[in-house]
Structure 1
């Protein structure tokens, strides 16, 4: 599917806005196709994760749609999040959020918890992750609940 320059510009702009509130990176280990250990040492909160997914500042809802009947103007550039908990394990979901380019080097999905080797990064957000470790864990916890 062709990506509109307007859609991509909106994605990049929204991504840059939320980078300002993220924490320092903690180390993690990739095993196979996932990150098995929590970035925080504990599970995230699914209710906070749902709020983050629906917040336009995290950019999730700009590209993804899902089981969110109360939310207008959901994205259509990326897979529907309905059933995400069936399609991917918690470990796989975590890696997709941390660094989606691990799976697809050409993805337009931001690497939410990576700061090195990126291109087209604004000076004001260079060296900072887009989401904090607790935010990643909250979103993972929520996405894992989305089962058909």
Structure 2
């Protein structure tokens, strides 16, 4: 199992090498309250349609590990929870923290911390000090995932 995790982490890292990485100065402050981040990173709700496109984009890597109600998308992942019903299982606040820094829930997770720029390991030089996704992209994905209800 450990070997599979290393290979998966390498696959994710390679996929992120092609993603559009946000600039370091785009990192907005946030506060973790309990098991979530209750306040939008941008100060406003995201756009669910843009979030849907981001979840399905291979560059964000969501679909590499997760599956969901996406009949139009082939080769969905099976390593992480199915995203169907994500809006029922997690609050917007919890979804936001899972995207910002999944290691807050599981320090051993292979899910990238999409909105961190410090304390990371094995980060390529061109990605050092930069979050993977912008605050707006995080909010768009949160808005979309919140719509996924059973």
Same fold (TM over 0.5): yes
CA RMSD of aligned residues (A): 1.4
Q: 1:1-148 to 2 correspondence within 5 Å? A: 3=4, 5-22=6-23, 24-148=26-150
CA distance in 2, matches of 1:22, 1:57: 16
Matched-pair contact (CA < 8 Å) for 1:46–1:141: yes
CA distance in 2, matches of 1:7, 1:22: 25
Unaligned runs of 5+ in 1: none
Single out whichever of 59-68 and 19-28 deviates more from structure 2. 19-28
TM-score, scaled to structure 1: 0.94
Q: Tell me by how many angstroms 1:5 deviates.
A: 4.6
Runs of 4+ in structure 1 over 6 Å off: none
Q: Tell me by how many angstroms 1:144 deviates.
A: 0.2
CA distance in 2, matches of 1:22, 1:48: 20
Unaligned runs of 5+ in 2: none
Matched-pair contact (CA < 8 Å) for 1:16–1:130: no
TM-score, scaled to structure 2: 0.93
Number of matched pairs: 148
Q: Tell me by how many angstroms 1:20 deviates.
A: 2.7
Give the match's secondary structure for 2:73. coil
Give the match's secondary structure for 2:78. coil
